[in-house]
Amino acid sequence: MSSQVFDVSVTTRYIDDQSAPDRGSYVFTYSVTIKNTGQVGAQLIARHWIITDANNHIEEIRGLGVVGRQPLLKPGEEFEYTSGTALATPQGSMQGEFLCVTEKGEQFRVTIPEFVLSLPRTLH
């Protein structure tokens, strides 16, 4: 089964009023849109994120579903959620994958390519 069943896009935002740069805390949100571009229904079962800050400190997050849900998407349907993370540096990145299963019971993984978390004024 191809990972092309789900198309994933991500947008990020720095949350200034929740951050405390003087204490090494930079808070970002990321909004993920998952669209079923395949021919069969499929469900997102689990997630795996790799979060890296500018000091190359790596944090791995694994868990069931996303934001407490395991959305089942019929062909053409999409699901969007927003979550967040805090970094010790003003820049970093995330990448990961979703483990999914089709209505026919076939498992597949969706790779989420690396995306940048950065303060707006530090982006070049």
Q: What percent of the chain has pLDDT over 70?
A: 94
pLDDT at 103: 93
- Cα–Cα distance measured from residue 91 to residue 36, given in angstroms and rounded to the nearest whole number: 31
- Cα–Cα distance measured from residue 90 to residue 24, given in angstroms and rounded to the nearest whole number: 8
Q: Name the pTM for this structure.
A: 0.90
Following CA atoms 55, 57, 58, 61 in sequence, which dihedral angle do they give, to the nearest 10 degrees? -110
Q: What pairs with residue 115 in β-bridges? A: 94
Q: Using an 8 Å Cβ cutoff, are 32 and 80 in contact?
A: yes
- pLDDT band at residue 124, thresholds of 50, 70 and 90? low
- What is the average pLDDT score of the chain? 93
Judging by beta carbons within 10 Å of its beta carbon (0-12, 13-18, 19+), is residue 68 exposed, middle or buried? exposed
- Cα–Cα distance measured from residue 45 to residue 115, given in angstroms and rounded to the nearest whole number: 22
pLDDT at 86: 97
